[in-house]
Amino acid sequence: MKNPPLQQSIDQQSSQAVVLDDPNLSEVVVTLDNVSFGYSYKKLILKDLNLTIRQGEILTLLGPSGCGKSTLLNLIAGFYKPLSGLITHGDEVIKAPANKRGVVFQGNALFDWMTVEQNIGFGFRFQKLPKTESRFRVRQIIDLVGLAGSEKKYPYQLSGGMRQRVAVARSMVVHPEVLLMDEPFAAVDVQTREGLQEELLKLHDQVSGAILFVTHSIEEAVFLSDRIIVLDRDCRGIFEEIKVHLPSPRWSAMNRISEEFNQYRTQLYLKLKELG
Protein backbone atom coordinates (compact mmCIF):
# COMPACT_ATOMS: atom_id res chain seq x y z
CA MET A 1 0.00 0.00 0.00
CA LYS A 2 1.15 3.48 -0.77
CA ASN A 3 1.89 5.95 1.97
CA PRO A 4 -1.03 8.28 2.59
CA PRO A 5 -0.53 11.84 1.44
CA LEU A 6 1.21 14.07 3.96
CA GLN A 7 -1.81 16.23 4.68
CA GLN A 8 -3.91 13.21 5.47
CA SER A 9 -1.43 11.79 7.95
CA ILE A 10 -1.24 15.14 9.74
CA ASP A 11 -4.99 15.18 9.91
CA GLN A 12 -5.03 11.74 11.40
CA GLN A 13 -2.50 12.72 14.01
CA SER A 14 -4.35 15.84 14.99
CA SER A 15 -7.66 14.03 15.19
CA GLN A 16 -5.99 11.51 17.42
CA ALA A 17 -4.68 14.32 19.60
CA VAL A 18 -8.21 15.61 19.96
CA VAL A 19 -9.36 12.22 21.12
CA LEU A 20 -6.57 12.05 23.69
CA ASP A 21 -7.52 15.49 24.91
CA ASP A 22 -10.74 14.17 26.30
CA PRO A 23 -9.88 12.32 29.51
CA ASN A 24 -13.03 10.25 29.25
CA LEU A 25 -11.84 8.54 26.14
CA SER A 26 -8.18 8.05 26.91
CA GLU A 27 -6.79 4.98 28.53
CA VAL A 28 -6.80 4.53 32.29
CA VAL A 29 -3.31 4.41 33.81
CA VAL A 30 -3.94 4.17 37.53
CA THR A 31 -7.06 2.84 39.20
CA LEU A 32 -8.04 3.06 42.83
CA ASP A 33 -10.74 0.53 43.62
CA ASN A 34 -12.47 0.90 46.99
CA VAL A 35 -9.28 2.00 48.68
CA SER A 36 -9.19 2.57 52.42
CA PHE A 37 -6.20 3.69 54.36
CA GLY A 38 -5.37 4.71 57.90
CA TYR A 39 -2.97 3.80 60.62
CA SER A 40 -5.72 1.66 62.12
CA TYR A 41 -9.19 0.60 61.04
CA LYS A 42 -10.68 2.84 63.70
CA LYS A 43 -9.01 5.97 62.40
CA LEU A 44 -9.27 5.93 58.65
CA ILE A 45 -7.85 8.71 56.50
CA LEU A 46 -9.34 7.44 53.25
CA LYS A 47 -12.38 5.25 52.98
CA ASP A 48 -13.66 3.25 50.02
CA LEU A 49 -12.24 5.67 47.51
CA ASN A 50 -12.59 5.15 43.78
CA LEU A 51 -10.48 7.13 41.38
CA THR A 52 -8.83 6.80 38.02
CA ILE A 53 -5.96 8.63 36.46
CA ARG A 54 -6.10 8.69 32.69
CA GLN A 55 -3.30 8.77 30.22
CA GLY A 56 -1.85 12.19 29.64
CA GLU A 57 -4.22 14.13 31.87
CA ILE A 58 -3.34 16.55 34.62
CA LEU A 59 -5.50 15.72 37.60
CA THR A 60 -5.42 17.91 40.67
CA LEU A 61 -6.50 17.03 44.17
CA LEU A 62 -7.89 19.90 46.21
CA GLY A 63 -9.40 19.86 49.62
CA PRO A 64 -9.11 21.03 53.19
CA SER A 65 -6.03 20.20 55.22
CA GLY A 66 -6.08 16.67 56.50
CA CYS A 67 -8.52 15.38 53.89
CA GLY A 68 -6.00 12.81 52.73
CA LYS A 69 -4.67 14.39 49.52
CA SER A 70 -1.05 13.68 50.26
CA THR A 71 -1.85 10.28 51.70
CA LEU A 72 -3.57 9.39 48.47
CA LEU A 73 -0.53 10.46 46.50
CA ASN A 74 1.79 8.45 48.75
CA LEU A 75 -0.40 5.39 48.29
CA ILE A 76 -0.22 5.65 44.52
CA ALA A 77 3.54 6.18 44.71
CA GLY A 78 3.75 2.88 46.59
CA PHE A 79 5.14 4.35 49.80
CA TYR A 80 2.22 2.94 51.80
CA LYS A 81 -0.04 -0.01 51.24
CA PRO A 82 -3.82 0.37 51.44
CA LEU A 83 -5.63 -1.29 54.34
CA SER A 84 -8.18 -2.57 51.89
CA GLY A 85 -8.99 -2.11 48.24
CA LEU A 86 -6.79 -2.27 45.21
CA ILE A 87 -4.50 0.23 43.54
CA THR A 88 -3.38 -0.81 40.09
CA HIS A 89 -1.07 0.73 37.59
CA GLY A 90 -1.75 -0.69 34.16
CA ASP A 91 -2.44 -4.30 34.96
CA GLU A 92 -0.19 -4.63 37.98
CA VAL A 93 -0.95 -3.97 41.61
CA ILE A 94 1.17 -1.20 43.12
CA LYS A 95 3.29 -2.62 45.90
CA ALA A 96 6.41 -0.48 45.96
CA PRO A 97 7.85 2.64 44.36
CA ALA A 98 8.86 2.21 40.72
CA ASN A 99 10.32 4.51 38.14
CA LYS A 100 7.20 4.53 36.02
CA ARG A 101 5.68 6.59 38.80
CA GLY A 102 7.74 9.70 39.45
CA VAL A 103 7.33 11.79 42.57
CA VAL A 104 8.12 15.45 43.14
CA PHE A 105 8.12 16.58 46.75
CA GLN A 106 7.64 20.03 48.22
CA GLY A 107 11.40 20.34 48.64
CA ASN A 108 14.46 18.88 50.28
CA ALA A 109 14.58 15.96 47.88
CA LEU A 110 17.57 16.92 45.75
CA PHE A 111 20.87 15.17 46.31
CA ASP A 112 23.04 17.97 47.69
CA TRP A 113 26.26 16.12 46.82
CA MET A 114 25.44 15.93 43.12
CA THR A 115 25.48 18.64 40.48
CA VAL A 116 22.34 19.70 38.67
CA GLU A 117 23.35 17.42 35.81
CA GLN A 118 24.02 14.44 38.06
CA ASN A 119 20.76 14.98 39.92
CA ILE A 120 18.76 15.03 36.71
CA GLY A 121 20.61 12.04 35.29
CA PHE A 122 20.27 9.98 38.48
CA GLY A 123 17.36 7.88 37.21
CA PHE A 124 19.37 6.75 34.17
CA ARG A 125 21.88 4.96 36.40
CA PHE A 126 19.24 2.27 36.83
CA GLN A 127 18.18 1.98 33.22
CA LYS A 128 19.80 0.18 30.39
CA LEU A 129 19.94 3.09 28.05
CA PRO A 130 22.81 4.07 25.75
CA LYS A 131 24.94 6.80 27.35
CA THR A 132 24.48 9.08 24.37
CA GLU A 133 20.72 8.81 24.63
CA SER A 134 20.58 9.55 28.35
CA ARG A 135 23.03 12.44 27.99
CA PHE A 136 20.95 13.86 25.19
CA ARG A 137 17.77 13.68 27.24
CA VAL A 138 19.41 15.32 30.25
CA ARG A 139 20.77 18.06 28.00
CA GLN A 140 17.39 18.56 26.39
CA ILE A 141 15.44 18.86 29.63
CA ILE A 142 18.05 21.20 31.14
CA ASP A 143 17.43 23.55 28.21
CA LEU A 144 13.68 23.11 28.49
CA VAL A 145 13.46 24.14 32.14
CA GLY A 146 15.93 26.98 31.74
CA LEU A 147 18.78 25.48 33.73
CA ALA A 148 21.37 25.92 30.99
CA GLY A 149 24.54 27.32 32.50
CA SER A 150 23.82 25.76 35.88
CA GLU A 151 24.65 22.16 34.95
CA LYS A 152 27.73 22.01 37.15
CA LYS A 153 26.21 23.84 40.10
CA TYR A 154 25.27 22.17 43.35
CA PRO A 155 21.81 22.60 44.90
CA TYR A 156 23.07 24.96 47.61
CA GLN A 157 24.09 27.38 44.86
CA LEU A 158 20.56 27.53 43.44
CA SER A 159 17.47 29.49 44.40
CA GLY A 160 14.39 27.70 45.68
CA GLY A 161 12.68 27.96 42.30
CA MET A 162 15.72 26.58 40.49
CA ARG A 163 15.91 23.67 42.90
CA GLN A 164 12.31 22.74 42.18
CA ARG A 165 13.03 22.95 38.46
CA VAL A 166 15.77 20.40 38.97
CA ALA A 167 13.43 18.19 40.97
CA VAL A 168 10.76 18.31 38.28
CA ALA A 169 13.29 17.72 35.50
CA ARG A 170 14.83 14.78 37.39
CA SER A 171 11.46 13.05 37.61
CA MET A 172 10.31 13.96 34.11
CA VAL A 173 13.47 12.99 32.26
CA VAL A 174 12.86 9.27 32.78
CA HIS A 175 9.39 9.64 31.22
CA PRO A 176 7.23 8.23 34.00
CA GLU A 177 3.73 7.16 33.04
CA VAL A 178 2.43 9.10 36.01
CA LEU A 179 4.09 11.99 37.77
CA LEU A 180 2.91 12.52 41.33
CA MET A 181 3.48 16.04 42.58
CA ASP A 182 2.92 16.80 46.24
CA GLU A 183 2.59 20.58 46.58
CA PRO A 184 5.79 20.98 44.58
CA PHE A 185 5.61 24.76 44.29
CA ALA A 186 4.23 25.59 47.73
CA ALA A 187 7.55 26.79 49.10
CA VAL A 188 8.46 29.32 46.41
CA ASP A 189 7.32 32.91 45.95
CA VAL A 190 4.31 33.76 43.80
CA GLN A 191 6.17 35.04 40.72
CA THR A 192 8.49 32.05 40.62
CA ARG A 193 5.54 29.80 41.22
CA GLU A 194 3.67 31.06 38.18
CA GLY A 195 6.77 30.59 36.06
CA LEU A 196 7.14 27.04 37.31
CA GLN A 197 3.50 26.28 36.54
CA GLU A 198 3.90 27.49 32.98
CA GLU A 199 7.07 25.46 32.54
CA LEU A 200 5.36 22.39 33.92
CA LEU A 201 2.62 22.69 31.32
CA LYS A 202 5.21 23.06 28.56
CA LEU A 203 7.12 20.06 29.83
CA HIS A 204 3.93 18.06 30.04
CA ASP A 205 3.28 18.90 26.45
CA GLN A 206 6.68 17.49 25.46
CA VAL A 207 6.84 14.50 27.75
CA SER A 208 3.40 13.01 27.64
CA GLY A 209 2.36 11.20 30.76
CA ALA A 210 -0.27 11.79 33.40
CA ILE A 211 0.26 14.14 36.32
CA LEU A 212 -1.43 13.90 39.68
CA PHE A 213 -1.01 17.23 41.39
CA VAL A 214 -1.76 18.00 45.01
CA THR A 215 -2.19 21.61 46.00
CA HIS A 216 -3.93 24.01 48.36
CA SER A 217 -4.15 26.71 45.77
CA ILE A 218 -7.35 27.03 43.74
CA GLU A 219 -5.62 29.19 41.12
CA GLU A 220 -2.85 26.64 40.68
CA ALA A 221 -5.41 23.88 40.29
CA VAL A 222 -7.42 25.74 37.65
CA PHE A 223 -4.38 26.87 35.72
CA LEU A 224 -2.80 23.43 35.53
CA SER A 225 -5.58 20.89 35.46
CA ASP A 226 -7.69 19.04 32.99
CA ARG A 227 -9.67 17.69 35.88
CA ILE A 228 -9.96 18.78 39.52
CA ILE A 229 -11.13 16.56 42.32
CA VAL A 230 -12.16 18.09 45.62
CA LEU A 231 -11.84 15.65 48.48
CA ASP A 232 -14.30 15.83 51.35
CA ARG A 233 -13.48 16.01 55.02
CA ASP A 234 -13.47 12.98 57.31
CA CYS A 235 -12.82 10.45 54.57
CA ARG A 236 -16.18 10.94 52.94
CA GLY A 237 -14.49 10.60 49.59
CA ILE A 238 -14.84 12.71 46.48
CA PHE A 239 -16.88 15.85 47.08
CA GLU A 240 -16.78 17.32 43.62
CA GLU A 241 -15.22 16.71 40.27
CA ILE A 242 -14.72 19.51 37.79
CA LYS A 243 -13.40 19.32 34.26
CA VAL A 244 -11.44 22.35 33.17
CA HIS A 245 -11.49 23.57 29.59
CA LEU A 246 -9.29 26.54 28.94
CA PRO A 247 -7.98 27.66 25.54
CA SER A 248 -4.63 26.38 24.35
CA PRO A 249 -1.85 26.92 24.75
CA ARG A 250 -2.65 26.14 28.35
CA TRP A 251 0.55 27.79 29.59
CA SER A 252 -0.50 31.17 28.23
CA ALA A 253 -0.50 33.66 31.09
CA MET A 254 -3.66 35.13 29.56
CA ASN A 255 -5.55 32.16 30.89
CA ARG A 256 -4.99 33.45 34.40
CA ILE A 257 -7.04 36.57 33.78
CA SER A 258 -9.71 35.14 31.49
CA GLU A 259 -13.40 35.06 32.30
CA GLU A 260 -13.51 31.26 32.24
CA PHE A 261 -10.63 31.05 34.67
CA ASN A 262 -12.56 33.26 37.06
CA GLN A 263 -15.65 31.15 36.75
CA TYR A 264 -13.77 27.98 37.62
CA ARG A 265 -12.12 29.73 40.51
CA THR A 266 -15.38 31.00 41.89
CA GLN A 267 -16.99 27.63 41.52
CA LEU A 268 -14.16 25.92 43.40
CA TYR A 269 -14.00 28.62 46.02
CA LEU A 270 -17.68 28.13 46.83
CA LYS A 271 -17.27 24.36 46.91
CA LEU A 272 -14.38 24.59 49.34
CA LYS A 273 -16.33 27.11 51.41
CA GLU A 274 -19.12 24.53 51.69
CA LEU A 275 -16.62 22.14 53.18
CA GLY A 276 -15.56 24.80 55.64
Partner 1 sequence: MLLKTAWRSARPKGRVQDLQSQALREKLTILGVSILIPLAILVAWELTTRLGWVDPLFLPSLSEIVAEFWAMVTKGYAGTSLLSHIFISLQRVYIAFFVGTVIGLLLGLLMGYYKYIRAAFYLVTEVLRPIPPLAFITLFILWFGIGEVSKVMIILYAGALIVMLNTMAGVQACPKEKILAAYTLGANDLAVFLYVILPAALPSIFTGMRVALSVDFGILVAAELLAGDQGLGYLIHDASTFFNVEALFVGIFLIGFFGLLSDVVLRVLSNRVVHWQGH
Q: Report yes or no: 228 and 198 within 8 Å, Cβ to Cβ.
A: no
Of 77 and 196, CB closest to partner 1: 77
What is the closest distance, in whole angstroms, from the C-beta atom of residue 41 to partner 1 in the complex? 25
Binding mask 74-93 for partner 1 (x = CB under 8 A): ---x-x--------------
**Is residue 126 at the binding interface for partner 1, with CB under 8 A as the rule?**
yes
Contacts of partner 1 in 156-215 (CB under 8 A): 156-157, 167, 170-171, 174
Indicate which single residue of 112, 234, 260, 274 sits in contact with partner 1 (rule: CB under 8 A). 112
Angle at 254 between CA 248 and CA 257, to 5 degrees: 125
Q: Is 127 an interacting residue with respect to partner 1 (CB under 8 A)?
A: yes
* Site stretch for partner 1 (CB under 8 A), options 85-93, 105-113, 242-250, 254-262: 105-113
Choice from 38, 64, 85, 107 touching partner 1 (CB under 8 A): 107
Tell me whether residue 41 or residue 113 sits nearer to partner 1 (CB atom).
113
144 — phi, psi (to 5°)? -60, -40
96 binds partner 1 (CB under 8 A): yes
- Kindly tell me which of 166 and 196 has the beta carbon lying closer to partner 1: 166
Applying CB under 8 A, which part among 124-132, 137-145, 233-241, 262-270 lies near partner 1? 124-132
Q: Determine, following the binding rule CB under 8 A, whether residue 143 of this chain makes contact with partner 1.
A: no
Residues in the chain: 276
- Identify which of residues 105 and 251 has a Cβ nearer to partner 1 in the complex: 105
Shortest Cβ 145–partner 1 spacing (Å): 17
List interacting residues with partner 1 (CB under 8 A): 77, 79, 96-99, 101-103, 105-113, 122-123, 125-127, 154-157, 167, 170-171, 174
